[in-house]
Amino acid sequence: MAKIKPPQLSTLGDFIAGQRRAAELSLRQLAEQTGVSNPYLSQIERGLRKPSAEVLQQLSKALRVSAETLYVRAGILDPEDHRGTTVEMAVLADTSITERQRRVLIDVYNSFVKENEPPAEPVVVDAPPAEPVVVVEVVDASVLSDAADEQLAASDLPAAEPVVADVPADVAPSSTSSTPNTQ
């Protein structure tokens, strides 16, 4: 008694066989490129076996077809969720044009789809106002001029206590001058 093939599998097998022929690859060459055995690949093409997603991924690379296209044909992905693939699938299934022509047609189609997409609206985020930033400048006390000392003394500000900080030796300014004394 003849075995009835599920329609998706025979369609997938026919598609893979058509792509293989269009790429001018023998069954053995495709098997070598994908790492799949020759008999197993033959069974996939005849619709007798359902390939795993991993095998489909390898086939997509070797045939230069999107993995998504093979997933849809295998029934792994829902075609309604991947409407763009129907045009791609039709172009990829056409054996009357070259591989290069298929890629160009798909690229042109995808550029038209992107061109017709509505522009993304900017996202406005209501954020609280930023906290004011206080910048503190550390100055070597020996650099302050006498005039600055006098202004500080004349102000009503209380005298500040000196701050002593542990500063690593490689960061702290040296107390010796590196310029020679010419006096």
For helices 84-93 and 67-74, what crossing angle results, to 10°? 100
* Residue 22 banded pLDDT, cuts 50, 70, 90: confident
Q: For the segment 81-139, what is each residue's pLDDT rounded down to a tens digit?
A: 665 556 777 777 677 888 788 878 888 888 888 888 887 776 666 666 667 766 666 65
Q: Percent helix, strand, coil in the chain (nearest 5)?
A: 50, 0, 50
* Residue 16 banded pLDDT, cuts 50, 70, 90: very high
Q: What confidence score (pLDDT) does residue 163 get?
A: 57
Read off φ and ψ for residue 92, nearest 5 degrees. -65, -30
Q: What is the dihedral of CA 63, 68, 69, 75, to 10 degrees?
A: 120
- CA dist 61 and 40 (Å) reads 18
132 vs 165, which has greater pLDDT? 132
Question: Mean pLDDT of all residues in the chain?
Answer: 74
The structural domains of the chain, ordered by start, are 7-115 (1.10.260.40)
Average pLDDT over residues 48-70: 89
